[in-house]
Amino acid sequence: MSEQLTSQPDYEFTEQVGHLLRKAYQRHVAIFQQHASDRQLTAPQFVALCTVRDQGPCSITDIVKATDIDQATMRGVVDRLRAREWIALSTDPSDKRKVVIELTDSGKALLTEMIPCARVITEHTMGSLNPAERVALLYLLKKMYEQDLPAESE
């Protein structure tokens, strides 16, 4: 078996797209934590707050659809945002089973403070990429995630 593993030197995991995306994301997360206006705010929390700001009062399902963050993770995000009093939860008057999430005044204030930081975070994440490389990177990333997943047999 060890012969079989060493006979495939043409596969370098450090040159694979998944590895490189993970490394780039780790770098982005470190930059986010360094430049966020609140050091306890995470990137998923920030995008959840931005989603509620953009959509107005909405459900957790609405946030999940907008952010592509899985339901279980988003439940934890919502719990932490609520504990920090950046969002408030209420019951939808037309459907008592539905929980509505909305920004509190302190959540709105955090976003006002955080948006300039987010621009700095994006700038540092892009680093030394020139304008054409930045456009190309964003275009290619969007193109990658907009594709259908391959069938299991592929």
Report the DSSP pairing between strands 87-92 and 95-103: antiparallel
C-alpha distances in Å from residue 89, one per residue of 13, 46, 84, 85 = 44, 17, 13, 10
Averaged pLDDT for residues 41-47: 97
Average pLDDT, whole number, for the chain?
A: 92
Averaged pLDDT for residues 120-139: 97
Q: Give dist(CA 61, CA 63) in Å, integer.
A: 5
Specify the pTM: 0.84
Whether residue 3 is predicted with pLDDT greater than 80 in this model: the reply is no
Q: Give dist(CA 38, CA 119) in Å, integer.
A: 15
Q: Give dist(CA 131, CA 115) in Å, integer.
A: 21
Averaged pLDDT for residues 39-64: 96
Given this structure, which CATH class describes domain 18-145?
A: mainly alpha
Averaged pLDDT for residues 53-75: 96
pLDDT value for 150: 86
